[in-house]
Amino acid sequence: MRSANIAQLRDRLTQYLREVRAGQEIVIRDRQRPIAKIVPLTVDDQSEDAALVAAGLMRKAARRLPAAFWRTRRGSVTFRAAVSAVSEDREDR
């Protein structure tokens, strides 16, 4: 585990963050007294989903999609038709 004074951290923040991304932990010191620790953030899918739900940006599904959903053929839209539809929608606003 590496340590750095506040002034060192301020001067070389990018370098220290690169080391944290690589898995290193860094103890921050103020006048040689430890005050904080920077550790790599581990984000699993469930905690990220929970944060989005809590922020009101996502809703959890009530049930799984049926397998047939993934086999359904999708309609084809040409690039020109898509651009035209978006342009018309923007002109209406």
Print pLDDT tens along the chain (93 aa): 899 999 999 999 999 999 999 999 999 999 999 999 999 877 665 677 888 888 888 998 899 989 998 888 888 889 999 999 999 988 876
Count of other CB atoms within 10 angstroms of residue 4: 19
Spell out the domains of the chain, with CATH numbers in brackets.
Answer: 1-60 (3.40.1620.10)
CB 17 within 8 A of CB 25: no
H runs (alpha helix) in 1-93: 6-11, 13-21, 45-54, 67-71, 79-92
Model pTM score: 0.47
